[in-house]
Structure 1
Amino acid sequence: MSEVSPRVAVVGGGWAGCAAAVELTQRGAQVTLYEAARTLGGRARAVDINGRRLDNGQHILLGAYGESLRLMREVGIAPESALLRLPLQMRYPAGPEGMDFVAPRLPAPLHLAIALLRARGLDRADRLALARFSTTARWMGWRLYNDCSVDELLQRFEQTERLIRLMWRPLCIAALNTPPERASAQVFLSVLRDSLGARRSASDMLVPRLDLSELFPARAAAWLCERGGRVEHGAAVDTLQRHEGGWLLRGERYDAVVLAVQPAAAAALIDDLAPSPLPAFEWEAITTVYLQYENGLRLPHPLLALLDDPETGRFGQFVFDRGQLDADRAGLLAVVISASGAALQLGRNALAASAATQLAEAFAMPQLAQPEWNAVISEKRATFACTPGLARPGNDIGIPGLALAGDYTASEYPATLESAVRSGVAAARILL
């Protein structure tokens, strides 16, 4: 590779690809970013539906997401205004079935101890179980010698049925997008380390006020072009060939390539080049049901957990009041259904009606059963199934001048925005 202004192609304009493009440019590379779609962001982007701009899924970041926050600032996004910062919490609508757990803004681990003492909806056995879990996991360094399912971990730690239902299960599904009976306990512990086990500010929950494209990808593209880079929309890369010590794609020669596309697409491009094939992944869906009500509607909090019960048609696990994040979205609620394969079997209209009914019952507000309009957005391959002992490829797979980037590459985290960004940064550093 040339030492002066190497030409690097980044294939894929999701969060990993945009992160790689920014990091490469910072390190002096001349970058071209290729994206097959017309919108950047990959599986975390804004979409236009019936004249309305909506995210294709609702995301939460953590204060511990240092690389995501660093690159946002680099491209001109101020996290202080672009993200609503909430203390670590698990809050349900008022009622006897739920709980209310909110960490005060105190130093760790005092914030967790006070939250546990103040929590509504937990009895003595639940509090002791949560304290035992946190203490034991911290003593273990949040590590397991042998991975197992989250269900098995919770049984080992003697967690109560109520605590599992109200806290551990929804946290696992939200973080790993994989049901506890199939989810990796080690990856779950890594997430908990940076929430329950982290310093107070690192455990804060950051909810986007901007749409997901504007939160990073769109601004990253503009920043890249301002520094002499190129962004090619609607530019699928179907072949990748070695050429004069570098690479040839779409008729142009590059010194190096970052493949920031889905693993199946990456495998198709490098099938004849890789020393060993990329692993096959199972995939899980995430569905977001948007429900629009009158502008005056406001939930008690911007983010609330919901009691899901698929057997009775209650699939929603969390609801976001978008009006508390963006005044222009007043009355818009987003119900999130992670690991939503079973829910999608209802069909979109029935699923929207089910979500509206669930909200009406949870908040004891019959009017919520009749939204003005609805939209159901489902990413059927939103994340890989994060199962115990899953082998994930590294960024460097033994092909000189080429690196992989994506939330599926080797990481302590599940498929999150932070793992995608970290992977993109790591791929850039490997090449340069």
Structure 2
Amino acid sequence: MAFDVAVVGAGPAGLAAGWALAAAGARVTLYERRRTPGGAVRTDELDGARVDPGVQLLGSYYRETFRLAAEVGASGLLVRSPGRDALWRGGRAHGLTYGSVASMAASGALPTGLKLRLAARYLPFLTRQSALDVNDPARTAVGLDDRESIAEWGRRALGDDFVELLAYSTLATYYTALPEETSAPFYHALARAGIDLTVHAVRGGVGELARAIAQAIEARGGRLVAPQQVDLVTARADGVELRFEGGDTARHDAVVLAVPAAEAARIGGLDEQTRGWLAGVRTRPTATLALRLDRPAPGDWFGLSFPRNTPPGERLVAVCALERKTPGLVPEGGLLVLYPAPEIAPRVAELEPGAVADLLLPALEQALPGIGARVTRARVYRFPDGSVQFYPGYLEHLRRFDEARLPERLALAGDYLVSPTVEGAVRSGLAAAARLLRRAA
């Protein structure tokens, strides 16, 4: 009889685990509390346009994500995106291509002094960190002080401009994080990956990739049960029992908990030490605001970032113009997704939709005057689980995770175990599947 595995959570980690298990011959049941799989990798429709409210692009260093897409027959969904972005400085948008050293050197986004310091100090420093890998920072950040924030390191080594224009813009936009609250080695790993970076979009929206993986699991005999809230997992010597909202139960041979750390601690029946370790995972809730426009947004950028020392940046860290990401997402008009500054993100996540618009739209008007008059519809997307924060000391916290304390028939998966990216989630899911398959063997 096939090894019967429950996967709780159908975000990137759960989907990766589910596919690896199904491909190895296991019988997989995915339980997802939302109506559709994907988690933060989800796509919605707004007045005929496809909205990616969370994750926008996949980096070229997402090697396991690309391999997973190939295995499920979804490589054709991934398309190269131009990577044209802009940084707000001096009251206007300065174009640049992240990952292109030549573009950043030529752009007016960065002061000349910072460019010289990057060329003379930071690029050589990153080149010397040849083993540093953003997909495995806990193991590869050898000899770097994880207790120091990138704000402390950056101001000392490269100056305030580095912290405010580069570190803040990157961390706040992609990870809802602050330089003062981010491990310096983790940022260095991100920066090293960005030296030679290309970015890819997903045809039809990032949710199409999640849907393709779920369909591939189903084609191997797996099931997706959604929406279904799992309230308790009990692992025993002869199997695991899941209790659902409403009191029903199901039995399986093993389980992958691919849910946020706090949820895993709440429902997983784990020992006190493991729950204590999970309590050391910090997240920052957020929400985004999608604006449907009657015409394309002004400018030629896909993403426009706002430093926090500029007027828009007090409330808004970035805006993405989805009509410029890949053809077909926005058949006509325009579509913007607004990301709040990390300092206010938790408050935004709790506001009523009208209050979110009242808070963020005036900030956008400071950069794009008159944009409010072009809005035909708006929608708020909430991410209460938030982004995992790789705070100073978190890499050492990762090294202290003791997988041996988990029940034999249970595995954890989530980006908090690897790196706060889609790739980190995928890698954690693959590792969770490998753990259970070793047990089954």
TM-score band by shorter chain is 0.7 to 0.9
Inter-CA distance 85–52: structure 2 relative to 1 (3 Å threshold): closer
Letter in 1 for 2:209: L
Deviations 1:139-173 (A, max 9, x none): 244545321111011023223x3343222211122
Structure 2: how far apart are the matches of 1:379 and 1:359? 21
Structure 2: how far apart are the matches of 1:381 and 1:310? 28
Name whichever of 303-312 and 147-156 sits farther off: 303-312
Alignment correspondent of 2:346: 341
- Which of 241, 249, 268 is equivalent to 1:248? 241
- Which of 14, 17, 28 is equivalent to 1:17? 14
Q: Is the 8 A contact 1:97 1:121 kept in 2?
A: no
SS of 2:232's partner is coil
Deviations 1:68-102 (A, max 9, x none): 111122223225x4444234x65236966554333
Inter-CA distance 355–236: structure 2 relative to 1 (3 Å threshold): closer
Q: Is the 8 A contact 1:395 1:427 kept in 2?
A: no
Alignment correspondent of 1:381: 385
Q: Is the 8 A contact 2:306 2:313 kept in 1?
A: no
Q: Is the 8 A contact 1:356 1:369 kept in 2?
A: no
Alignment correspondent of 1:92: 87
Structure 2: how far apart are the matches of 1:267 and 1:207? 34
Name whichever of 161-170 and 306-315 sits farther off: 306-315
Deviations 1:106-162 (A, max 9, x none): xxxxx52x3344222434311112221121232244545321111011023223x33
- Which of 363, 370, 380 is equivalent to 1:366? 370
Letter in 1 for 2:184: A
Alignment correspondent of 2:136: none
SS of 2:38's partner is coil
SS of 2:228's partner is coil
Structure 2: how far apart are the matches of 1:50 and 1:97? 30
Alignment correspondent of 1:151: 151
**Matching of residue 134 in structure 1 with residue 137 in structure 2:** no
**Matching of residue 59 in structure 1 with residue 56 in structure 2:** yes
Alignment correspondent of 1:302: 302
Name whichever of 172-181 and 115-124 sits farther off: 115-124
Task: Please list, as runs of the form range in 1=range in 2, the aligned pairs for 1:270-309 lying within 5 A after superposition.
Answer: 270-271=268-269, 273=271, 276-277=274-275, 278-280=277-279, 281-297=281-297, 299-309=299-309
Alignment correspondent of 2:96: 101
Q: After TM superposition, give the deviation of residue 37 of structure 1 in Å.
A: 2.4
Q: After TM superposition, give the deviation of residue 25 of structure 1 in Å.
A: 1.1
SS of 2:231's partner is coil
SS of 1:238's partner is strand
Inter-CA distance 237–123: structure 2 relative to 1 (3 Å threshold): closer
Name whichever of 304-313 and 241-250 sits farther off: 304-313
Between the two proteins, the alignment pairs up a number of residues equal to: 409
Structure 1: how far apart are the matches of 2:350 and 2:312? 14
Q: Is the 8 A contact 1:356 1:370 kept in 2?
A: no
Alignment correspondent of 2:408: 400
Q: Is the 8 A contact 2:95 2:301 kept in 1?
A: no
Letter in 1 for 2:331: D
Inter-CA distance 140–19: structure 2 relative to 1 (3 Å threshold): closer
SS of 2:30's partner is strand
SS of 2:221's partner is coil
Q: Is the 8 A contact 1:96 1:121 kept in 2?
A: no
Q: Is the 8 A contact 1:314 1:354 kept in 2?
A: no
SS of 1:317's partner is strand
> Identity of paired residues, percent?
27
Structure 2: how far apart are the matches of 1:15 and 1:348? 27
Alignment correspondent of 1:230: 223
Alignment correspondent of 2:177: 178
Structure 2: how far apart are the matches of 1:276 and 1:360? 47
Q: Is the 8 A contact 1:298 1:323 kept in 2?
A: no
SS of 1:92's partner is strand
SS of 1:408's partner is helix
Q: Is the 8 A contact 1:240 1:247 kept in 2?
A: yes
**Matching of residue 259 in structure 1 with residue 249 in structure 2:** no
Unaligned runs of 5+ in 2: 133-140, 244-248
Deviations 1:19-45 (A, max 9, x none): 100011112212111122222122332
Q: Root-mean-square deviation (CA), in Å?
A: 3.0
